[in-house]
Homo-oligomer: A and B are copies of this chain.
Amino acid sequence: MRLAVLGAGAVGRSVVELAGEYGHEVVAVADSRSAAVAGGSGGAGSDDALDASAVLERKDSEGVVGDADPEDALAADYDALVEATPTTLDDAEPGFGHCEAALEADRDVVLANKGPVAERYADLRALEAASEGTVRFEATVAGAIPAISTIEDYGPETVEAARGVLNGTANFVLTRMAAEGLGYEHVLAEAQDLGVAEADPSFDVDGTDAALKCVILANVLTGGEPEFSLSDAEVEGIRNVPGSALELAKEEGRTVRLIGEATRDTVRVGPRLVPENGVLAVTGTRNIVQIDTEHAGRLNISGRGAGGPETATAVLADVGRLE
């Protein structure tokens, strides 16, 4: 399939790098300020596909992907749009608008951007229903872990709940606090030095990122009826988890993890006591998704929940499912 990739951050870049390996062609790439389009203005490559390496090298050296305007990517001749621009809340723009443009042109959309799926699920599904195109969004929840497709394969009506550790930054911080007996601020600084936490870590440590993912899971369970958005979630982050809580927990063979849970009725994110050696106590930046099903009991899927290549595999798995 021919892909137009919007977003040249870690995920967009990895999709551009790996698409060929999966048998797909990247015909357009855009970041916030520029675009490269195959066969057209600003493209580097043949008429059929972009020269992926050239595009990424230019991004590295000059900060732009090409000479074209970002809008030119949406106008390119692609089969599926990969929406990997930064997650935004509320109206989820400009990401939602990108999806809208693609669906109105009867193209498929594969999202890594959580905004449209968490904040405007019903709108997105309505656009999809009116379009020949299909919307998929495995990459929006838990990176390489096949959470959405597994719920889809089981049949969402047969899934009672989905929960887990969905934010690697917060999990890294809690893991280190428990392992080293260090305080929150100290470990957060360490995480920032390692690049595991951002300069402004609030999205991760306040539980917002995990909550968006749980909102998406809830929408999958309900099919959007009722529709969930971030404002429906009860969210508590990890800023107020004291080191003493972790020590006390350890004495009882337990620890603390930021657990998010979605059912057809509620979305909750907060620090929870879990058995120290239990399935939910994944360590470091790893994620786990636990699915409770009606006919097959509990399923646990753990793996890397974030990262360029990791999330790109989820995007490309979705592209594969479109065909």
Contacts and interface: CB of A to CB of B under 8 A. Distances in A.
Interface stretch (A60-68, A89-97, A193-201, A312-320): A312-320
A184 to B, nearest CB: 26
A299 B293 contact: no
Nearest to A310: B296
A316 B296 CA distance: 12
Contacts of A317: 153-155
A303 B309 contact: no
Interface residues of A, number: 37
Each complex incorporates copies of this chain amounting to 2
Nearest to A302: B300
Interface string A153-168: 1110110000000000
Interface stretch (A138-146, A175-183, A212-220): A138-146
Given A297-B303, A298-B304, 16 more contacts: A21-B157, A146-B149, A146-B150, A146-B153, A146-B299, A154-B317, A155-B316, A158-B313, A277-B277, A279-B302, A295-B312, A296-B309, A296-B310, A297-B310, A299-B301, A301-B301
30 contacts: A14-B295, A18-B295, A21-B155, A21-B158, A22-B155, A144-B295, A145-B299, A146-B149, A146-B153, A149-B149, A150-B150, A153-B320, A153-B321, A155-B313, A155-B316, A155-B317, A155-B320, A158-B313, A279-B302, A293-B313, A296-B303, A296-B304, A296-B309, A296-B313, A297-B303, A297-B310, A298-B304, A299-B302, A299-B303, A300-B303
